[in-house]
Amino acid sequence: MIKNILQFSHQLLADAVQVGETVIDATCGNGNDTIFLSNLVGDSGTVLAFDIQKQAIDSTKRRLIDEARQNVKLIHDGHERVTTYLLKEQKHGIAGAIFNLGYLPRSDKTIITKSESTLQAIQQILDYLKTNGVVVIVIYYGHEGGLEEKENVITFVKQLDQSAYHVLRYEFINQKNNPPFVVAIQKRKEKLNK
Amino acid sequence: MIKNILQFSHQLLADAVQVGETVIDATCGNGNDTIFLSNLVGDSGTVLAFDIQKQAIDSTKRRLIDEARQNVKLIHDGHERVTTYLLKEQKHGIAGAIFNLGYLPRSDKTIITKSESTLQAIQQILDYLKTNGVVVIVIYYGHEGGLEEKENVITFVKQLDQSAYHVLRYEFINQKNNPPFVVAIQKRKEKLNK
């Protein structure tokens, strides 16, 4: 079967990430991707999981306790401040990251991710990404404000240098009600001018 | 690594097709996909390989002889006549198909696939597809006439009922020079009114 959005997102990360590496959940939400990443990097790896909403951090914390995962650093802060939490030594060492853009499921739909901070976070993580590392962005855009963020993210990723990054769009195009789709960025190599 | 267009196309077919089944190469071209499909279905399966150009048929025939593949029926005819070559018993029995839209590589660029016959062929194959079978369409559109065919194919597949088909678009969006992309259609179930 053709993989759905969740399956494909996780497959991309599983293909790029090795046990022991460091990965980022830029929007931990209810913790589903955090748990997935935690298992992916194993006890010797690290997950940095961000969310601006305390409700999301609390919800993810409970999931981590329930599943006895101890390799996750939960960070109650905006993901646009991600580099504050990374060491210089981690430059070119982040193996993967995932964003779920939109609002926290089963929560206040007016609290949403926004282009400016989203793009700042993506750019920062790209700078820290290892060669062949991947940033997966799941774009929900059916909510108010979602379309603008979608357009801004697409504009940003389209201009990424094709010799430095592969940028893939994976989308089901015959579904109603603005279903989410995936944008995946894979670093091909470091630019020579860095 | 994120799969490129060729790798992803073949992965979709490999996931959907079993040994012993019947598949269709709607545009055999220089025979690359024909050979791939021939190996996929094995000696007990069948590949129907179409091309409107004799040069393509001859080229594919040589490849088949070189690789000693005997499960391919080469058909020098337009793919819009595909049902002429299928038995009624094969309805809902075709496991997969692939189209490469555009012109024959290293050949006359003015001889191109065209929307009308392409859409007729796609619709006919969808009618003959098994549940979970897949039609993979690789869309080259950088040539003259390519953009029109691309738009017409996209318009057609977008209106396919989402309860009956998954329609996926898989495209690298930061590459210059109109690179090919994939549209994949997977049959979910038969419509009740058939």
Give pLDDT, residue B99.
98
- Of A134, A157, A172, Cβ closest to residue B173: A157
Give pLDDT, residue A166.
98
* Minimum Cα–Cα distance from A177: chain B residue: B162
Q: What is the mean pLDDT of residues B77-104?
A: 92
- Alpha helices for chain A (secondary structure H): 5-16, 32-41, 54-66, 115-128, 146-158
Determine, yes or no, domain membership for A194: no
Q: Give yes or no for residue B191 having a pLDDT over 60.
A: no
Domain that holds residue B71: 5-187
Determine, yes or no, domain membership for A161: yes
Determine, yes or no, domain membership for B194: no
A72-86, B31-45, B58-72, B105-119 — which is least confidently predicted? B105-119
Q: What is the mean pLDDT of residues A53-75?
A: 97
Give pLDDT, residue A193.
46
Residue B96 corresponds to which tokens in the numbers above? 């997969």
Nearest to A155 by CA among A142, A143, A139: A139
Q: Give yes or no for residue B194 having a pLDDT over 50.
A: no
- Per the prediction, chain A carries an average pLDDT of 94
Nearest to A28 by CA among A115, A129, A104, A106: A104
Angle between helices B32-41 and B5-16 (to 10 degrees): 30
Give pLDDT, residue A192.
52
Tell me the per-residue pLDDT of A166-180, one tens digit each, with 9 for 90 and over: 999 999 999 999 999
Give the residue, A93 or B110, on which the prediction is more confident: A93
Determine, yes or no, domain membership for A166: yes
With vertex at residue A170, the alpha carbon angle to CA A169 and CA A176, rounded to the nearest 5 degrees, is 115
Give the residue, B165 or A103, on which the prediction is more confident: B165
Give pLDDT, residue A54.
95
- Of A134, A167, A171, Cβ closest to residue B174: A167
Residue B190 pLDDT class (50, 70, 90 cuts): low
ipTM of this predicted structure: 0.94
Give pLDDT, residue A176.
94
Residue A121 pLDDT class (50, 70, 90 cuts): very high
Determine, yes or no, domain membership for A192: no
Q: Are the beta carbons of A174 and B157 separated by less than 8 Å?
A: yes
CA distance A35 to chain B (A): 23
Q: Are the beta carbons of B132 and A1 separated by less than 8 Å?
A: yes
* Minimum Cα–Cα distance from A169: chain B residue: B171
Give the residue, B48 or A110, on which the prediction is more confident: B48
- Helix then strand then coil, in percent of chain A rounded to 5, is 35, 25, 35
Q: Which residue has the tokens 């201009």?
A: A159
Q: Are the beta carbons of A174 and B161 separated by less than 8 Å?
A: yes
Give pLDDT, residue B46.
97
Q: Are the beta carbons of B174 and A184 separated by less than 8 Å?
A: no
pLDDT cut 70: percent of chain A above it? 97
Q: Give yes or no for residue B140 having a pLDDT over 70.
A: yes
A92-106, B3-17, B103-117 — which is least confidently predicted? B103-117
Determine, yes or no, domain membership for B53: yes
Determine, yes or no, domain membership for A114: yes
Determine, yes or no, domain membership for B175: yes
- Alpha helices for A45-114 (secondary structure H): 54-66
pLDDT cut 70: percent of chain B above it? 97
Give the residue, B112 or A34, on which the prediction is more confident: A34
Q: B77 by DSSP, 3-state: which?
A: coil
pLDDT cut 90: percent of chain A above it? 85
Give pLDDT, residue B75.
97
Residue A191 pLDDT class (50, 70, 90 cuts): low
Q: Give yes or no for residue A51 having a pLDDT over 90.
A: yes
- In total, how many domains does chain B have? 1
Chain B residues contacting A via beta carbons under 8 Å:
1-2, 12, 15, 132, 134, 154, 157-162, 165-176, 183-184, 186
Give pLDDT, residue B192.
52
Give pLDDT, residue A194.
43
Contact assessment for residue B7 and residue B36, using Cβ atoms and an 8 Å cutoff: no
Give pLDDT, residue B141.
93
Q: Are the beta carbons of A173 and B158 separated by less than 8 Å?
A: yes
Indicate which CATH number applies to the domain containing B46: 3.40.50.150
Give pLDDT, residue B132.
97
